[in-house]
Amino acid sequence: MFKNKATCQLVQHIIIDTDGRVDDIIALLLFLNAEKEGLVKIEAICCTRNANTTVENVCKNVIRILQLIRRTDIPIYQGAQNPIICPDGKIALYHGEDGFGDLHYDEEPDLSIIQKEPSAIGMNAIVSRHPGEIYLVCLGPLTNVALAMILYKDFASSLKEIYIMGGNYKAIGNVTRTAEFNFHVDPESVHIILRNAKCPISILPWETCAITKMTMDWRFEELGNVNDPMIQLLNKAEKSVYRDRLSEHWYPCDAFLAITLIYPECIRKEGIYHATIELNGKETRGQVVLDHLNENESNVRIIKRVNENFVQDILYKSFRTGFAE
């Protein structure tokens, strides 16, 4: 790990595993801005299917953004086409058929820049080159990470930390009554990671996002009026996403996770627990279960509250600064 010369702060090497939805792209842009400031080094972006769209569309969403800001130097990997076990039934298309608001574009992104190896292999290669240094940032379903742990015996013990946006800790769901989207669509992967990881795991769950007070008015009337081409594109995508859903509050869940990693002072409340995930319950599949009896050794940190004013300040500053190199 190397240091930021100006502050002598250790720079965090990160791999971003994403399903390419709107809040994922906001988180990606935050990490890119942090890289410009010497706070992180993005080693790769890995794409995974998000249950709303194909992994190919996820790659297109990510590459399109990187081309716009001239950052296609970052390696991009295409990952899992399906979860460990394909679920019955359909998942509602919250972010459109392409996962990014179904906007019209004049040109197709250049998919030839995708690495030949799948995400799990790419992740392991990078972690093997930087043992004990990689922060794995998980913004979507966890299939790619679980596959890497299954394929490579040293992968789980060679990561520095895992940051996950997903799950819940009060059994409050957003895709079912008791489960959050990312964990619900592939709970087997969550189970594999919770059982096998040998590094600290931080989880920012749905309830933490749901209690924030960031409003749609602030999103579109203040942040949305920043003179930056990225925010203008995101405005179009999010207006399409929220077109048929009435909501007073804005929940950029993956952005919350990104900011807690880059700026841990944003965290206002957290707890240490042993966590498992329900795999079999008819009503509770995908629900996180905490060991409140303290019968097992803790394996996760749950981020329970963030400072939304701090989040707003970082978002506003980042988009005013711009993202192109």
Confidence of residue 93 (pLDDT cuts 50, 70, 90): low
Closest CA to 302 of 273, 266, 264: 273
Q: What's the rounded Cα separation, in Å, for the pair 264 and 152?
A: 30
pLDDT given at position 8: 36
User: Apex CA 178: angle with CA 145 and CA 17, to 5°?
Assistant: 20
pLDDT given at position 2: 32
- pLDDT(1) > 50: no
Mean pLDDT in residue range 100-126? 85
pLDDT tens for each residue of 132-167: 999 999 999 999 999 999 999 999 999 999 999 999
Mean pLDDT of the chain: 90
Confidence of residue 312 (pLDDT cuts 50, 70, 90): very high
Mean pLDDT in residue range 192-211? 97
230 in Cβ contact with 237 (< 8 Å) = no
pLDDT given at position 187: 97
Q: What are the structure tokens assigned to 268, written together?
A: 């206002």
155 in Cβ contact with 193 (< 8 Å) = no
Mean pLDDT in residue range 176-182? 95
Instruction: Determine if the pTM surpasses 0.95.
Output: no
The per-residue DSSP string of 40-76 comes to EEEEEEEE---SSS-HHHHHHHHHHHHHHTT-TTS-E
- Would you kindly state where each structural domain of the chain is located, as residue ranges? 12-211+251-321
- pLDDT(175) > 70: yes
Of 12-16, 97-101, 229-233, the one with minimum mean pLDDT is: 97-101
Confidence of residue 10 (pLDDT cuts 50, 70, 90): low
Centroid of chain to Cα 241: 18
122 in Cβ contact with 147 (< 8 Å) = no
Confidence of residue 3 (pLDDT cuts 50, 70, 90): very low
Residue of 325 and 143 predicted with greater confidence: 143
Confidence of residue 220 (pLDDT cuts 50, 70, 90): very high
- pLDDT(182) > 70: yes
pLDDT tens for each residue of 24-65: 999 999 999 999 999 999 999 999 987 678 899 899 999 999
Overall fold of domain 12-211+251-321: Inosine-uridine Nucleoside N-ribohydrolase; Chain A (3.90.245)
52 in Cβ contact with 101 (< 8 Å) = no
- pLDDT(67) > 70: yes
